[in-house]
Amino acid sequence: MRVFVAIDLPDEIRGELERLQEYLPVGRAVPSDNLHLTLSFLGDQSEVACEDAHEALSDVHAKPFDLRLSGLGTFGKKAPQVIYADVERCEELIELERKITRKLRSAGVQFQKRRFRPHVTIARLSKMFSTDGLAQVQSFLATQAEFRGSQFQVREFHFYCSTLTPDQARHEVLATYDLSKPEIDLF
């Protein structure tokens, strides 16, 4: 299974991002149901590894905390491939990601660790990107530079399975972890 750990977004925040996506000049907007903030991408894992991951994640506890999306950016080495909403610096979020990584590693779950850059992907761009398309993305980023979402509270995080289809990825919640409660149901 292709799995990841993420924070789901409240409907209000999804609505703010959907309104922002209406102004995208190029690219493919991420469907509202797929908007999330990834804490750890585990990639393809066996059922046993998923069970180990669930056990490890069940032992992650933290106090709820507030987050805010603010600003936009792109990822891509030679040309932008993703447009994202940035996340205001939040020490509690950084510590939650560290706790998750430590618990998964100590449970023996193998995955590629990347530098944590909290963001919400709002659009994917074609690899065949024209100069005109680049100018349109830069203009979009400039006109939306002041984007600042509403503050929201993070009370839980989720373990997701992602199924790739020709149209888009489909995400299914496998388990939900309340930051302050240890009782969790899997699958």
Residue 183 has pLDDT above 50, yes or no: no
Asked whether 20 and 144 are in contact (CB, 8 A), the reply is yes
Lowest-pLDDT range of 95-99, 160-164, 182-186: 182-186
Q: How many CB atoms lie within 10 A of CB 79?
A: 16
Q: Is residue 186 part of a domain?
A: no
Alpha carbons 167 and 95: distance in angstroms, whole number: 35
Residue 185 has pLDDT above 70, yes or no: no
Q: Is residue 163 part of a domain?
A: yes
Q: Is residue 56 part of a domain?
A: yes
Residue 163: both structure tokens together: 């199924």
Lowest-pLDDT range of 70-79, 110-119, 124-133: 124-133
The CA-atom distances, in angstroms, between 43 and each of 11, 91, 110, 164 are 27, 26, 9, 12
The residue range of the domain holding 113 is 2-178
Please give the helix or strand (H or E) that residue 41 lies within, else none. strand 36-44
Structure confidence by residue, pLDDT tens digits, 20-46: 999 999 889 999 999 999 999 999 999
What integer is the mean pLDDT of 12-27? 95
Residue 19 has pLDDT above 50, yes or no: yes
Residue 5 has pLDDT above 80, yes or no: yes
Structure confidence by residue, pLDDT tens digits, 53-106: 999 999 999 999 999 999 999 998 778 899 999 999 999 999 999 999 999 999
Q: What is the CATH number of the domain that holds 146?
A: 3.90.1140.10
Alpha carbons 20 and 44: distance in angstroms, whole number: 32
Q: Is residue 187 part of a domain?
A: no
- pLDDT value of residue 129: 67
pTM: 0.90
Q: Is residue 99 part of a domain?
A: yes
Number of compact structural domains in the chain: 1
Q: Is residue 140 part of a domain?
A: yes
Q: Is residue 183 part of a domain?
A: no
